[in-house]
Structure 1
Amino acid sequence: MPAPVNRFKAALAAGQMQYGCWAGFGDAYPTEVMSTAGFDWLVIDGEHAPNDIRSIMAQLQVLEGKPDSHPVVRLPMGEAWLIKQALDIGAQTLLIPMVESAEQARDLVRAMRYPPEGIRGSGAALARASRFSAIPDYIRTANDQMCLLVQVETVKGIAALDDILAVEGVDGVFIGPSDLAADMGHRGDSAQPEVRAVIKDALGRIAASDKAAGILAVDHDTAVTYRDWGAQFLAVGIDVVLLARAARDLAARWTKG
């Protein structure tokens, strides 16, 4: 029995549009609620949300077997030891922030693969990823199902974008508009014309390559623009923000009327 097929990776390779949403509560219950919405993918955020390896695992468990909502785990950094842990608990798709060079991207590719293609430790016998040894061919087949998405979100990363796009084993490049805007001197304002021009150029270059282009937008018009510029895996919301907005709108309707 081989490793489970990564449907999200296959969809990206086939050029299919994938709409997603952030899961930022750090808890399995709201992530399970989000899985009923019909998004193609959900980001279990370990960078800016209060997640650890156990809470990430709990969310992977509630998403397992769902026809939609493929889990994309965003780690706080691209450390090999943390990548190993994330893959062993069952993640197949990782989103790694602050990638700024082809060398860094190549290191991430190797961290996600068993030898000889990589450096992932082969302790899958006791790992959830192999269903605790119930998938006898896991180690021999897992490499092909690993999906690496790298975040390019600094001026230095943008300068290295073409080199990053040439790295075999990178499946997609995600532009981080907020961090990019901050690095360009426009903290909190990715709508600045200068920033938008860089984003448009970057998405276009990624879309013209053999990688998928990704990005996040929290308002509809910006999301449509990013899609028109070439985004293929497009996050269109953040669960925490969706709840906060709905709650504030409801309270305002009753308390400020």
Structure 2
Amino acid sequence: MQPNLFKRRLIARSQQLGIWSMLASGNVVEVLTQSDYDWIMIDTEHAANEVPMVQEQLRSAAQSLMSAVVRPSTNDPVQIKRLLDIGAQTLLVPMVNTPDEAQRAASAMRYPPAGIRGVSAATRANRYGRDSDYLHGANDEVCLLVQLETAQALANLEAIAAVDGLFIGPSDLAAALGHLGDFRHPDVQAAIVDALGRAHRCGKPIGILMTDPLLSAAYLRDGFDYVALATDIGILRSGSESALKQGRSDSSHSRKESA
């Protein structure tokens, strides 16, 4: 079966740079995966994305060496099963606050006796029944990342950390700490840095999404193991606004010269 390169790099503690896709488009994923990022997040929590669409995005990602990570909308065993069956290997489960919730996700990721994942003889993940090694190898290749987005989750960090990796959701964490819309607040940043240190002390890799280049650079220097640096929506928004600003400036200069 296909080796999970993201998980292997995570275990090796190789720092990985990622990009976040929310536009629910196989074409967008294809464009992004032809760049040189290590991983791409295919989001279904805050995106108009459904399983058939995610499958097309996974097909686009599979044309490159970039690892695809999928974020389900919730910690639901049925949704997790469906995403694994269409070929996702690494999932980022949002809003995990307790060890029991982390265990629920871990169990949904794995076949019995290690978990409760349902068995299908013919899925995209097992090459429609052609991969005879899949059922016995999948438990080793799947990778579970969980998001810590509340004060409760941070308090339980060490108990939650039995999963493959942790991930900070800065926007939800800021809201939970009383600073809605302000992830730059000193209290939020202190909580993030504290989580990084605690994760590493218990031997667990930890990641974050941060589109502020100064903060993302600081997080990489501090030792975050995997960092998403940009989103497709952000790139499209800033690129279109930059082009318009330049065009208006050029147009203004042209009118002045012809006056």
- Taking structure 2 as the reference length, what is the TM-score of the superposition? 0.94
Residue 149 of structure 1: aligned partner = 145
Q: Where does the alignment leave 5 or more consecutive residues of structure 1 unmatched?
A: none
> Cα RMSD (Å) of the superposition?
1.0
What whole-Å deviation, never above 9, does each CA across 1:179-212 have from its counterpart, x for those lacking one? 0001111111011111110000001111222221
Greater CA drift, 218-227 or 96-105 = 218-227
Task: Give the one of 39, 42, 53 matched to 1:41.
Answer: 39
Separation in 1 of the partners of 2:238 and 2:201? 36
For the 8 Å contact 2:40–2:69, the answer to whether it is kept is yes
What whole-Å deviation, never above 9, does each CA across 1:56-95 have from its counterpart, x for those lacking one? 000001111422x200000110100000000000000000
1:216 partnered with 2:214: no
Task: Give the one of 221, 228, 242 matched to 2:221.
Answer: 228
What whole-Å deviation, never above 9, does each CA across 1:12-63 have from its counterpart, x for those lacking one? 0001010000011101001100001111000000011111001100000111
Separation in 1 of the partners of 2:202 and 2:193? 15
Separation in 1 of the partners of 2:25 and 2:247? 29
Q: How does 1:9-158 map to 2 (within 5 A)?
A: 9-67=7-65, 69-123=66-120, 125-158=121-154
Separation in 1 of the partners of 2:202 and 2:238? 37
For the 8 Å contact 2:158–2:202, the answer to whether it is kept is no
Identity of aligned residues (%): 41
The 4+ residue runs of structure 1 with deviation greater than 3 A are none
Q: How does 1:242-257 map to 2 (within 5 A)?
A: 242-255=235-248, 257=252
Tell me which amino acid in the other structure corresponds to 2:157.
L
SS of 2:3's partner is coil
Separation in 1 of the partners of 2:154 and 2:118? 32
Tell me which amino acid in the other structure corresponds to 1:220.
P
Separation in 2 of the partners of 1:236 and 1:204? 21
Of structures 1 and 2, the larger Rg is shown by: 2
Separation in 1 of the partners of 2:225 and 2:202? 12
SS of 2:129's partner is coil
For the 8 Å contact 1:43–1:72, the answer to whether it is kept is yes
1:159 partnered with 2:155: yes
Question: How far 1:10 sits from its partner (Å)?
Answer: 0.4
Q: Where does the alignment leave 5 or more consecutive residues of structure 2 unmatched?
A: 253-259
